[in-house]
């Protein structure tokens, strides 16, 4: 088991970035950086957030 967090960019614009992190304990977390604010999600919260965003169309 590695002690390093592995990150991956999901999407990025000039002002925003969404990325995921595979934590050393196996947990996957998701993060959205909106200028100087970062919102953190566990997997279940991320799925719900994506449902919310899709309903904004």
Distances 23 to 3, 12, 37, 45, 51 between C-alpha atoms, Å: 8, 21, 21, 16, 24
Distance CA(34)–CA(23), nearest Å, equals 22
Mean pLDDT (whole number) for 27-44: 96
Q: Report percent pLDDT > 70 for the chain.
A: 98
Query: Around Cβ 46, how many Cβ atoms within 10 Å?
Result: 19
CA-to-CA separations, 9 to 2, 32, 43, 46, in angstroms, rounded: 20, 10, 16, 15
User: pTM here?
Assistant: 0.86
Residue 3 has pLDDT above 70, yes or no: yes
Read off the pLDDT of residues 15-27 as tens digits, 9 standing for 90 and up.
999 999 999 999 9
Cα 26 to Cα 23: distance, rounded to the nearest angstrom: 5
């Amino acid at each position: 088991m590695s002690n390093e967090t592995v990150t991956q960019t999901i999407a990025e614009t000039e002002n925003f970035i969404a990325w995921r992190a595979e934590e050393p304990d196996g947990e996957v977390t998701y993060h959205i950086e909106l200028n100087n604010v970062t919102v953190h999600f566990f997997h279940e919260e991320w799925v719900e957030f994506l449902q919310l965003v899709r309903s904004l169309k």
